[in-house]
Structure formats: structure tokens, C-alpha cells
Amino acid sequence: MAIKEQLETLLQEKMDRKDFLKYAGGVVLAAIGITGMVRMLLGSRMLTGDASSDDKTKSSGGYGNSTYGK
């Protein structure tokens, strides 16, 4: 029941918009995780170092990779 009491205390506390946004931002970061947020903002390609995964110059053969198929 301690969490329920803490939540009730928090909801009764007076706060302005700035304090609310700080608190809400902290809750979002805690829920998602800082690394998840950074990965989302930067893109997973930059963090993994696999920037050449979308390189279209690599060809593995097949109809779609020929000059006619492009």
C-alpha cells in the first residue's frame, strides 16, 4: 500500500506547469530508459556502426539487382 499512498500524496501536491513538465519528463525517461530514448533519437544504425546496411552498390545477384531491374 506504500505506492498507493505515495501516489495519492503526489496527486495532492500543488505544482505549476514547469514542475509538472519536469516530473512528466522524468517519468517518461524512466519508463523508456535513457538508452532507448537515445537510440530512438539517433537511429539504431548510428549506434551499431552499421551505416552501410542500406548501401545499394552491393549486389548479390538476381533479377532485381540487374541493370534491367533497377
Interval 34-56: pLDDT, tens: 888 788 888 866 655 555 545 45
Residue found by looking up cell 500524496 in the block: 9
When pLDDT is averaged across residues 54-67 and rounded to a whole number, the result is 60
- CA dist., res. 45 & res. 18, Å (int): 34
pLDDT score, position 19: 92
| Closest listed residue to residue 11, CA positions, set 25, 29, 23, 1 | 23
For 68, the grid coordinates are 534491367
d(C-alpha 68, C-alpha 49), whole Å: 32
